[in-house]
Chains A and B, each alone.
Chain A
Amino acid sequence: MRQKIKKFWEFSKYFYQTASISQIIWVSFTIAAVVSMGFAGVLLYAKISANTEELILRNSIQLVNQVSLNLETSVRNMMRISNSMYYCTIKNADLQEESLDWDMNLLYEANRDSLVSIACFDADGNVVTGMPVSTLKEGVDPASQSWFQKANDKIENLHFSTPHVQNLFLEDSSRYSWVISLSRTVELTRAGETSRGILLVDMDYSGIEQLFEKVNTGGSGYTYLIDGSGEIIYHPRQRAIYANLNTENNLVAAEYEDGNHRENFQGEERSVTVKTVGYTGWKIVHVVPTEEFYLNLNQMRLFVLFIVLFTILCMGLLNIFISGRIATPIKRLEAAVREMEEGTGELELCEEGSQEIRHLGRTIYSMVRQRQKLMEEIVVEQEEKRKSELDALQSQINPHFLYNTLDSIVWMIEGEQYKEAISMVTALSRLFRISISKGKTIITIREEAEHARNYMNIQKVRYKNRFTFEMHMEPGILQYSTIKLVIQPLLENAIYYGMESMDGDGVIRVCGYEEGEDIWIDVLDNGPGMTPEEVENLLVDGKHEHKKGSGVGLVNVHQRIRLYFGERYGLKIDSEPDVGTRVRIHLPKSFAKEDKRP
């Protein structure tokens, strides 16, 4: 179990970490709705079921009480008749002198709706008087009948029989009556002598039947009547029970105290309400099969389930809309921020969603704008700085070079070498033109190579062909860009440090070629070369001194290339004493970007 809870917890955490905001809102709201509605549904069902059961039981008690009241009224009426007959007539009459007929007839006529007969018998069962007839059927012995014997056995009590067909008096037709006999012992006086007699009041059973029929029409359950020993007096299915088509739990019900009981009869759960009728010991039994109110409860359960499901689904639907309304602006904002981070989009001002989200959008928008502005300012500033540095580096052209070149031109003119002078001035002019490059920092390799060639033309004149110069550039690389003045300073160094001691056998070569995405331009000379220590210090700023030349040294070129193209580019130097030096310019394959001076 703990494992499962832990697993569930982990899953929840994972879900909350990976799900979108709309999913989290929807799931959270829906879980809350399901739990609350489920809880409400269970409570509602429990309350309704308790109320239903209570209501049914209360109705049962009410019904039984009502029936009991009506039945007691009938019973009391019968007892009143019996009492009247006994105490007002029989007890005061001497049968030797007077008859009971008149009084009995009066009483019978007054109650004939509920009476079948009323009769008085002596101790041997002979009729003293009887209404409406007093002639006994042939062969009938009242003394052998149970109502007579019971009254005789317990003389203080009134006795109520179970329903039976009256079988005492001669009838002139096939009409018969089901009766309930109320019998009691009475004291008969004859010529001053008292003797025991039995007074019988036969109550019409149909009165009881009608009373119970009224409460057994429809509704839940049914009501029946038993005597103290469980014998059925009335049952709505009495004939079926008599015909053994039905059975009833009457013998067990006779043992029940008044109140509600639960019983299981023939596999059926039933709620039984019992009420004892006064004077008689009869019991009214109201039976409700629990299936009947469970059927109602089942319907109610289904109904509650419908409502709960309906509400949950409606809330689920609502949650989708609400989560969408909340999350969509946030998601759009997040997407815009992400695009902006990736540099693929522009942040737009968020004008949807709730007031908080709009405020958040405006704030982020404002922050991003400010950041962009700052970035642009930084970029411009950096660019300015870079250009300033380049300018500063490029401006380090040795004035001696200019002075010497002009001096050479003067010397050529004086020596009437006009053609050479023109050539030199032209070369110098080109040199300066490329140096200036309309203010551009970046030129093509073609231009840089031409610049280097012009420079070498000038220097070859000056150094009277003390060395030879070769340049071989692969045509494919000429279109790519480089910062200007990268080859010329290397050539200058090669001349000053490599060729001074040469006497016509010096060689300076420039080779340009490509390797993958890189361009290499090698400047080689066969001068005296350098030791590894010297090479090591060569590209470290401030660790060497330049003796002569333009002043734009190796460090200058190296720093400019790295400043512009990045740290992986720049110069590489291979040198060996007495063999020569190779300086390699490493550039990327790139095309010139707009680079105007302000």
Chain B
Amino acid sequence: MTNKNKAAVAVIGGILVVLSVLAYFYVDLAKVNRERVNVSVVVYGSTAERWTAFRQGAEQAASDLDATVNFVTMEENDREEQERLMSGELENGAQGLAVALADTRAQAAEYVTATSGAVPMVLVESEIYGNASLSCVAANAYEMGKELARQALEDAPEDASIHMVWMGENRQSQKDRMAGFKDACREAGRQVQESLYPNQEAMRQVLKGDGTYVLAAIDDLTLETAVNVIGGKQENISLYGIGSSAQIVYALDQGLVKGIVFQNEFNMGYEAVDILVQKIRKGGAEEPMEIDFHHATGETLHEPEHERLLYPIIQ
């Protein structure tokens, strides 16, 4: 064999080897290998039922984005427990956290602020007081408060006592909602009482009078508590609130609650996981994502667009 032929054999042999290696790894190369991402969602509130639509959205996003989502609710609904849960999730391999904080005061959220430097994190529904650096997926709480006021005042008699009620939780979204509610009342020339009811009994004591009340509950828990306190339809009490849990929707359907303002929980869950996964895969911070909100009354509850949002199809 001439030297030229030997060189040709060596070159062809080399190409064959390269081709063989490529062919061997071909299956792996041909696959669109997107690494699966593990994320955890830790939410306030002691029941998962409140977060049904949110959870569906989060799971839909996880399915679309090749992610695994672990959904965690709390038992005690306090800051320490939430920190413990977050820490546990990170230890269990969560690559990012979406958190609906039980307490968004700066001091209370120190753990989240500190952890967010090391782990991608997205806040849900409420920002931390005075710290807008963390991505947050939420509806415009201030506007929701205003919308709630518009609903509550629409049919409120002149002599009705307007109470804005809440149960003393410390979330920024509650503060914003209350600010919006108060501003709207002030614009409408109506007095509003800001009433803190730490428990059902306190609320019951106030509402047992004979006066006409318009109650506006600032969040799900307060509205559910008010429903439980009132028990049944009372002519002198008009109950409104922000929330969309099954109990609230049922109460609206039964006429116990006259109107609700609710955020698009499915979208909130979807966007939270979407942003979180993007952060994990691509890094960098995301702009805060504003979610749409809606309002419904007993009359409009069964309109198709409201049914689709308030009665989750379990898929």
Contacts and interface: CB of A to CB of B under 8 A. Distances in A.
A219 interface: no
Given A242-B308, A243-B266, A164 B302 contact: yes
B117 interface: no
A33 to B, nearest CB: 12
Interface string A20-62: 0010000000000000000000000000000000000000000
B231 interface: no
Contact of B307 (A164, A309, A314, A316): A164
Contact of A320 (B8, B57, B266, B302): B8
Nearest to B250: A174
Contacts of B107: none
B9 A239 contact: no
A178 B246 contact: no
Contact of A324 (B5, B23, B250): B5
Contacts of A137: 253-254
Interface in A299-336: 299, 302-303, 306, 309-310, 313-314, 316-317, 320, 324
A313 B19 contact: yes
A244 B302 CA distance: 19
Contacts of A302: 26, 30
A178 B57 contact: no
B9 A320 contact: yes
Interface residues of A, number: 40
A306 B246 CA distance: 58
B106 interface: no
B19 A310 contact: yes
B315 A209 contact: yes
Interface string B276-315: 0000000000000000000000100010110111011111
A239 B247 contact: no
B202 interface: no
Contacts of B60: 237, 239-240, 245
Contacts, number: 100
A164 B305 CA distance: 10
B302 A209 contact: no
Contacts of A245: 57, 60, 266-267, 270
A206 B26 CA distance: 43
Contact of B30 (A138, A176, A299): A299
Given A174-B246, A313-B15, A165 B267 contact: no
Contacts of A299: 30
Interface residues of B, number: 43
A213 B246 CA distance: 24
Given A164-B302, A164-B304, A239 B26 contact: no
Given A237-B60, A306-B22, A306-B26, A242 B253 contact: no
B298 A139 contact: yes
A176 B250 CA distance: 9
A243 B264 contact: yes
B74 to A, nearest CB: 22
A165 B266 contact: no
Interface in B1-37: 1-2, 5, 8-9, 12-13, 15-16, 19-20, 22-23, 26, 30, 32
Given A310-B16, A317-B9, A178 B26 contact: no
Nearest to A298: B30
A338 to B, nearest CB: 17
A268 to B, nearest CB: 15
Given A239-B308, A298-B30, A306-B19, 20 more contacts: A137-B254, A164-B304, A165-B302, A167-B302, A171-B250, A174-B247, A176-B246, A178-B313, A213-B315, A237-B60, A239-B312, A242-B305, A242-B308, A243-B309, A299-B30, A303-B26, A306-B22, A309-B19, A310-B16, A320-B1
Interface of A: 22, 137-139, 163-165, 167, 171, 173-174, 176, 178, 205-206, 209, 213, 236-240, 242-245, 295, 298-299, 302-303, 306, 309-310, 313-314, 316-317, 320, 324
